Amino acid sequence: MEILHEHAVVIAGGGPTGLMLAGELALAGVDVAIVERRASQDLVGVRGLGLHSRTIEVFDQRGIADRFLSQGQLHRVGFSFHHTLLDISDLPSRHSYFLALGQQQIERILAGWVDELGPALYRGREVTGFAQDDNGVDVALSDGTFLRAKYLVGCDGGRSVVRKAAGIEFPGWDATKSWLIAEVRMTEEPAWGFREDDTGTYAIGKLDDPGAMRVVLTEQALKIGGEPTLNEVREALVAVYGTDYGAHNALSISRFTDTARQAANYRDRRVLLAGDAAHVHPPMGGHGLNIGVQDAVNLGWKLAQVVKGISPESLLDTYYAERHPVGARVLRETMANVALQRPDVRTKAVGEILAEFLKLEEVRRKVIAEKSGLDIHYELGEGHRLLGRRMPDLELVTGNGPLRVFTLLHQARPVLLNIDEPGGLDITPWADRVQVVEGKYAGAWELPAIGAVTAPTAVLVRPDGYVAWVGEANQLGLHEALTTWFGGAIAASHTS
Ligand SMILES: Cc1cc2nc3c(=O)[nH]c(=O)nc-3n(C[C@H](O)[C@H](O)[C@H](O)COP(=O)(O)OP(=O)(O)OC[C@H]3O[C@@H](n4cnc5c(N)ncnc54)[C@H](O)[C@@H]3O)c2cc1C
């Protein structure tokens, strides 16, 4: 067996999830490599269309949000839920909007960031299988060579070879419907907007490029896989509109279905799954890319600590425990969305009742907090309402001037924030791993959907921006939380 190279972590797949994970591991000083089938970052077909608030916050935590904001378009009436448009401008976040930006640009920006951080990238090669033992994984590549790694992460999409080779089950629901999504030019003015019939829903909308339009068409019969053609788009248009409006020059054509599946586990010993490799669902609501990136941010720092010997392998179990429920919730929402598209009169009645509920302020607040990803709550036990929730990006007053909390996370290092009397928190045994920052904040602590919560005196924030411990005028439980998340008081701090 020819071992080409050894790395601490090999990632199969350099889509949004794999790129984000590579960046997170590289930031933590881990020797990481990506194996990517595509020879370049170019994408075929239409895929992700934008970023939700929490994903933009996650990029802000790493200091790269501006790269995305400078290329996308902000939409404050950010979401639609079954035809009801929802205003999200009052979400308590700096990023209370949907950022319209194509997956192609998102991947290019991420790839640029990763390139600056320096992971190895094996392009134009596929992971074809692997064998794992107690010490590591031999990763087989399509050119006949092997990479040796301590851990392998499958970020290789919905048809994940890694998931299949690991024998991880992928239970869920088969497709019942398929759609074509295409960007084309037309010689005639089409019927803009939405249309419904007994088969499903259809939409034609303008793109920035003058003369180009995006069509989304329910297919008359379920089709799975294959490369859809312009002829199929034309036929689907004729079936609904009676004309193809002279559709020509397809810029991109994709097919998607309402398949919804989720991996039964996200880890088998030294092999992990993230992104579409761990969950697939229809694209309604635009969640897939967003939760894949957030999977990577949850996993990255944990895997880095395990690789470096700072934390035991059991820390990786929290990745599944925290992220599986997030994926399950997205599957539920997208399945509901598809069900509501049924044209029968009874389903329409359900849709009308839902639209009435969405007019209620409390319901709107709950739904937008969920869809934006800002209400994610990891079960870290009883306590203050901040525990397990995202840390808000407060502007602190410090001895060195104003300081935004997210800037403290740029290097993906944990931070203990003391908002009480300076010097009151002693965490000397963890000082090599956890930064302590003193600051004051007099404003309200407002959480999405929940509202104002009692101001804490200190918070321990994980590298992914979630609160691991909350101080309320004492240090009860602080050392236990530090040990749980950032290793014991005498943890070995090796570099990989
Ligand atoms: C029509 C459509 C619209 C969508 N709209 C949205 C949206 O608006 N918002 C949103 O958030 N999401 C959307 N999605 C979903 C989004 O595109 C995916 O969830 C996202 O791409 C998942 O990222 P990933 O990195 O996990 O997987 P992928 O993007 O699938 O990336 C996997 C990567 O692995 C590579 N690869 C595969 N197998 C191997 C192998 N064996 N070895 C090496 N490399 C391999 C592939 O080339 C690819 O680069 C949409 C999807 C579709 C189809």
3-state secondary structure 221-245: CCCCCCCCCHHHHHHHHHHHHCCCC
How far apart are the CA of 429 and the centre of ligand 1, in A? Answer: 42
Residue from 11, 24, 79, 103 whose mutation best tests the ligand 1 pocket (most atoms within 8 A of CB): 103
- CB-based contact 241:190 (threshold 8 Å): yes
- Closest-CA residue to 259 (of 223, 293, 220, 215): 223
Ligand 1 pocket member 290 (CB < 6 A): yes
* 289 Cβ closer than 6 Å to some ligand 1 atom: yes
φ, ψ of residue 36 to 5 degrees: the values are -125, 130
Q: Is 392 in the pocket of ligand 1 (CB under 6 A)?
A: no
Q: Cβ(201)–Cβ(348) under 8 Å? A: no
Distance (Å) from CA 262 to ligand 1 centroid: 15
Query: From ligand 1's centre to the CA of 117, what distance in Å?
Result: 22
- Evaluated on CA atoms 339, 340, 342, 347, the torsion sign reads positive
What pLDDT is attached to residue 307? 98
Q: Is 195 in the pocket of ligand 1 (CB under 6 A)?
A: no
Which residues is 469 bridged to in the sheet? 460
At residue 469, the 3 state secondary structure works out as: strand
Q: What is the C-alpha separation between 213 and 101, in angstroms, rounded?
A: 16
Which atom, in ligand 1's list, is nearest to the CA of 103? 17
**Ligand 1 geometric centre to CA of 14 (Å):** 9
Quote the DSSP letter at residue 382.
S
Q: Is 126 in the pocket of ligand 1 (CB under 6 A)?
A: yes
> Helices 288-307 and 317-339 meet at what angle, rounded to 10?
170
* Per-residue confidence (pLDDT) for residue 432, from 0 to 100: 93
Distance 291 CA to ligand 1 centre (A): 11
- Distance between Cα 81 and ligand 1 center (Å): 23
Do residues 20 and 51 make contact, with C-beta atoms less than 8 angstroms apart?
no
439 lines ligand 1 (CB under 6 A): no
DSSP, res 454: P
Contact at 8 Å (CB) between 484 and 423? no
Per-residue pLDDT at 81: 80
Angle CA(369)–CA(375)–CA(377) in degrees, nearest 5?
Answer: 160
How far, in Å, is the centroid of ligand 1 from the Cα of 150?
25
Distance 260 CA to ligand 1 centre (A): 15
Query: Is there an atom of ligand 1 within 6 Å of 100 CB?
Result: no
d(CA 157, ligand 1 centre) in Å: 5
Residue 19, helix vs strand vs coil: helix
Give distance in angstroms: CA of 321 to centre of ligand 1: 23
Q: Is 18 in the pocket of ligand 1 (CB under 6 A)?
A: yes
Ligand 1: which atom is nearest the Cα of residue 162? 41
Would the CB of 469 count as within 6 Å of ligand 1? Answer: no
Which stretches of the chain drop beneath a pLDDT of 50? 492-496
Q: What's the rounded Cα separation, in Å, for the pair 347 and 343? A: 7
Ligand 1 proximity of 38 Cβ (cutoff 6 Å): yes
Tell me how crowded residue 339 is: count the other CB atoms within 10 A of its CB.
14
Residue 53 and residue 91 in contact, taking contact as beta carbons nearer than 8 Å:
yes
What is the pLDDT at residue 78?
A: 67
User: Which atom of ligand 1 lies at the shortest distance from residue 275's CA?
Assistant: 26
In short, whether 292's Cβ falls inside 6 Å of ligand 1 is: yes
> Which tens digit of pLDDT belongs to each residue from 9-54?
999 999 999 999 999 999 999 999 999 999 999 987 778 889 999 9
Q: For residue 453, report the distance from its CA to the centre of ligand 1, in Å.
A: 37
Ligand 1 atom 27: residue of nearest CA: 157
Q: For residue range 51-72, what is the model confidence (pLDDT) as tens digits?
A: 999 999 999 999 999 999 999 9
What is the pLDDT, as a whole number, of residue 494? Answer: 43
- Could you give the count of Cα atoms lying within 13 Å of 404 in the half-sphere of its Cβ? 14
Q: What is the pTM of this model?
A: 0.95
Ligand 1 atom 26: residue of nearest CA: 275
156 C-beta closer than 6 A to ligand 1: yes
